[in-house]
Chains A and B, each alone.
Chain A
Amino acid sequence: MKREKTHIIPPAERASPDLSSGKYLVMWQGPQHPGITGNMSLRLVAEGDTVVDCETHVGYLHRGFEKLMERRLWMQNFPLVCRIAVPEPDFNEYCYAAAIEELAGIQIPEKAVWLRTLSLEMMRLASFLMWIGGQAGAFGHGTIIQWSVTMRDYVLDLFEELTGGRIYHMYIIPGGVRSDVPKGFLRHVLEVLNVVEKNLDDIELVMFHNAIFKLRAEGLGYIPKEWIDQYGITGPNARAAGVARDLRKDWGYLAYPKLDFEIILGTKSDAYERSRLRLLEMYQCINLLRQIIDAMPKEGSFKEKLPNPLHWKIPAGETYVAAECTRGEYGFYVVSDGSDKPRRVTVRGPSYTHAVSVMERLARGTNIADIAGLMVSLHTYPPEIER
């Protein structure tokens, strides 16, 4: 028997549009749309140009990663995990590798700790550079994305030099990292950071002092502070509401406890504030990368010697390892039954709540033209929902 459809939004607050009245327009934004962050779609019900109801639909990029991982050896899953989040695959590599290491009792060398931190911060910068182009583009500002994608390409060049791959790196593996830094690499990183920093100054002037961007982004998608725990909001979306949460500080993983940085906070919690906060975090990221290059050991092993990975059997147990990615808490829950394959792996991506529950709530009352800007301001990425 088909049950009656129920909704999360309380009946008193939820619009109940009579679609046969002719007053409303039902429209789909996505799955292929310039204002959609990846392959997802929004079913919008609009009255005039105001959205009165929104439903997020995902699944267009479901690849069954979690099922596949149960059928493959622990090591064979590395080409899978990095593909769960294209803009920042390294966080997947780190969480999965760290979970295996924890269950197997593997300690990694000090140099590998710093190289992992370097890789994650480079990834953060590349991901933010892609985001800022999308954020500006969602409000009709096409120049920024040309600049920021160029800057991102410089960072991807660095990844190519370090790992051999531009998008998917498979650099972080159990026991450490796959290789040491090539000769001259750290100098190249510093050169690129100088160029990116100069470009960020330009972006700050052109985008954040632009009257149209300010008019459209200020007040858009306000997230009250009390929603942060109710909805499980993390990352810059929480910090823009003044909630000081950053796993780099809270969990103190890798080399972050040895780095000098403060959690950047906002107060206004709207699309403009979230964007401004991410810009500041990009500057912070550049600063962290310079600190890492200064402080990392120049000598030493980058990888613990481990037995043949095709024969690994990870001791039975479970763990949850999380890292602060650009969008918030990114985690891997891993269960081993003592065999040569994972028993269960589940991925906790921040978009799970940001793109579904939070987006559906914030979209109501928003102008159709601002939906794309709202979504990008939440920095969502659907494949980490679908896995």
Chain B
Amino acid sequence: MTEAPCIRVSELYKRFDMLEVLKGVSFDVHRGSVVSMIGASGSGKSTLLRCINHLETPSAGEVYIDGVPLGFQVDAAGRRRPRPRAEINLLRRDLGMVFQQFNLWPHMTALGNVIEAPIRVRGMSRKEATALGAACLAQVHLEDKANEYPARLSGGQQQRVAIARALAMQPKVLLFDEPTSSLDPELTDEVLTVMRELADTGSTMIVVTHEMRFAREVSDRVMFLHNGTIEEQGPPEQVFGAPVSERCRQFLSKFIA
């Protein structure tokens, strides 16, 4: 494949004080593919996702978006310099993120949440952004909730607004950090349905999840993390059907009812 990968993670390390959470993780994500990251709590999968858009600054290693390094730049003399925070902020526009806790801004309506960044960061006119915002809300089936405040929405609806907010930035990649972990089973389904639809329309997605059925049915590749490294990865049929790693087998056995 000649095209640069949409996301390239190279030799990523992350340490919090004495605790080494990521121990040299590398992988590529190509345009249009869906990657699920699974693993036990504390395996480093959420930290890895947060390092990809530098919400956590990696201790070592690099992340490239379409070949552009996020954490550093090369100056005229060919030396690597850490990229200023302001620039990282701007580059992050291309990575949409959906959080476990939704993190909608409670003082704005659903539509307000969705159009805030397109207006303030992309510099869109309010009219343009509103049209885009309405389309994004329609994509998550919430066109009728545009003027509701988050406090008046259910958890599943809030998470779908959060997805619409990420979509409105027209990102190259969508990052999902356990998007259904704080939802009831019924509400989980409405969020997963939206995510399936996004995957079917060719969105590039990296999903940290405990929803094994989703990982198995929707993703092109599954990565099993253990102790800060990728212990096992491959197409879902392989990881779920015939895992090589003993730890992966143990982990998955807890999910097969």
**A and B co-occur in one complex:** no
Interface residues of A (CB under 8 A from B): none
